[in-house]
Structure formats: C-alpha cells, structure tokens
Chain A
Amino acid sequence: MTRDSLGGFEQLILLAILRLPDEAYGLRIQEEIEERAHRTASLGMVYTALERLEQKKFVSSWSGGATSERGGRSKRFFKVEAAGIRALQKSLAATKRMAAGVEALVGGSR
C-alpha cells in the first residue's frame, strides 16, 4: 500500500468524520462506524487510525473542552482535509470501478 492510499478502515473513519461535522471525536466516530457500517471498532483501533491519517495530513485535529463524564479529559475533534477528500474520492472510485459489472454478485444494486 502506498503512503497516499487508504485502507478499508481508514475509509470508514474519513466517511464517519464527514458525517459528523464539528462533533467528530473518538467515541462518536466509533459509534458512527458501529451503527452505520455494522462493524465492531475498538477505541484503540479508531485512535491508531486517526493518528495515521493525521500523519498523512488527511485529517487535522483540535482540542475541545473537558467534561466530567470524561474524567476531566478533553475531547479531540477531527476534520477531513482536502488531501483526505482526494484520497477518499480515489479510493471510492477504485472500489466502484472494481465493482462495475459484478453488482449482481456482490449485491451492489440495492
């Protein structure tokens, strides 16, 4: 996998961040993936992927306020950058091209 390519889980993370404008932090991202993609994701998986995506400059982050139910720890919010959008477009387009012609077999015609 090249440095700019996206893994399947990274793709889900970027899509989850896009779906959660201004409230994309670890736990919400994990919930979104579990609810929509029906995929189990631990917080360790989510944060490891987020760190990797930030290294690739696909996402940026900022620190939010601390709340009592988080033990006084702050939230870190994430936002998808232009490079992340481009990588996501490429990755989704590649999936679409690969699925072309075999939708009936893989159930893509829903």
Chain B
Amino acid sequence: MSKRGRKYELRSIIITHYLDDHLRSSGRHAFMAGDFGTGKTQAFATIFVEGKSDQFLFESLLKVPHHGSARAGNMVLGPPKLAEFFLLLLPMKYREELIGCAEEEYWTRSLPRLGARRARVIFWTQMIHAWLIFLARPLAGIAGLAWMGKVVDVLLARFLK
C-alpha cells in the first residue's frame, strides 16, 4: 500500500493534563481506537477509558498528522481557558473554589458523560450564569431607577398640565 493511501490505527494515547493524574490514581487505563487516512486535517475519535466496573467514553476532535505517524500527541481536552479567565475576574469571595468546582464538574461529570464539546459548553454556561447572578442586583437597581424615573415623568406631566 502506498504511503499516501495507508490507513493508521491508533492503539494507544497518552492523555495529558489533569485527567492523566486522575486516571493513574484510579488505576484506569486509557486507550483510543480509530482509523485515519492521510490528507485529512481532522477527524472525530472516540476514546475509551476503562475502569474496573465502568466505562467512560470521550469524544474529541483530533488533528491527524500529515507525516504518516499515528501518534496523536497532546490532546486538548481541558476546560476553555477564556471562560476560566472570565471566572477569575468575578469579584466574589470564593471565586477560586467556584472555578475548582467548575473544573471538577468538567472532568468528572460533563466530559465522561457528554463529550468534550458539550462539556465545554456547560463550562461556558456556568461562567455566564455566575456573571449574570453577580450583575443581577445592580441591573435590577438600574431597572428600578428607570421605572421610578418613568413614574416621576408621568406624575410631573399630570401636575404640569
């Protein structure tokens, strides 16, 4: 088979970042299987993480290397950095703990159950929701002032007629 038309089967992968520690500590082994043709720039791959009694499934978009090597390299499975940055800007006493919980939710709940893409959406949603809750009171105050302004306008208009 010519090198260009050859298909590559990925038999193993090293998952970097926090998940690696998580897997090692829980005694689980991760492996990935998938067929990739050369010439493609990206493909969906499925990663199985086998445990003693359960099996998690991860889906992620991988870049397929053009040079013919079947190594996937570092996978970006982590939570979105920009959303994390916005969470860091939250003027809350326990924002560090909130980010920790959002990350824990990402790694232990969203990613295994829903896959990387939806897990990232959930992380973004948590960030937006946290900011909306923080802004709710000042916004309600502004809305209240605007409403009072309208009431004053109506009263003045009546009295000045």
Where the two chains meet, the residues of A that have a C-beta atom closer than 8 Å to any C-beta of B are: 25-27, 30, 42-45, 47-48, 50-51, 66-71, 73-76
Q: Is the CB of A73 within 8 A of B126?
A: no
Q: What's the nearest-Cβ distance from chain A to residue B97, in Å?
A: 4
Q: Is the interface of B mostly helix, strand, loop or mixed?
A: helix
Q: Is the CB of A69 within 8 A of B108?
A: yes
Docked CA distance A66–B18 (Å)? 12
Query: B43 contacts the other chain (Cβ, under 8 Å)?
Result: no
Where the two chains meet, the residues of B that have a C-beta atom closer than 8 Å to any C-beta of A are: 18-19, 21-22, 25, 92-105, 107-108, 125-126, 129-134
- Find B96's partner among A25, A69, A73 (CB 8 Å cutoff): A73
Please give me the 8 A-B residue pairs with the lowest Cβ-Cβ distance, nearest first: A44-B130, A73-B100, A70-B100, A68-B21, A42-B129, A26-B101, A27-B101, A69-B107
On whether A48 and B92 interact (CB within 8 A), knowing A25-B97, A42-B129, A68-B21, the answer reads yes
Q: What's the nearest-Cβ distance from chain B to residue A78, in Å?
A: 10
On whether A76 and B94 interact (CB within 8 A), knowing A27-B101, A48-B134, A69-B103, the answer reads yes
B residues near A51, Cβ cutoff 8 Å? 92-94
- Find B102's partner among A43, A50, A66 (CB 8 Å cutoff): A43
- For chains A and B in complex, what number of residue pairs have CB atoms within 8 angstroms? 82
On whether A47 and B92 interact (CB within 8 A), knowing A69-B18, A69-B108, the answer reads yes
Output the nearest chain A residue to B84 by Cβ-Cβ distance: A71
Q: Is the CB of B133 within 8 A of A48?
A: yes
Q: Is the CB of B103 within 8 A of A45?
A: no
Docked CA distance A95–B80 (Å)? 42
Output the nearest chain A residue to B129 by Cβ-Cβ distance: A42
Most buried by A among B92, B94, B126: B94
Docked CA distance A13–B153 (Å)? 42
Q: Is the CB of B130 within 8 A of A42?
A: yes
Q: Is the CB of A75 within 8 A of B100?
A: yes
Q: Is the CB of A43 within 8 A of B18?
A: no
Q: What's the nearest-Cβ distance from chain A to residue B130, in Å?
A: 3
Q: Is the CB of A70 within 8 A of B129?
A: no
- Find B130's partner among A25, A27, A43 (CB 8 Å cutoff): A43
Q: What's the nearest-Cβ distance from chain A to residue B147, in Å?
A: 20
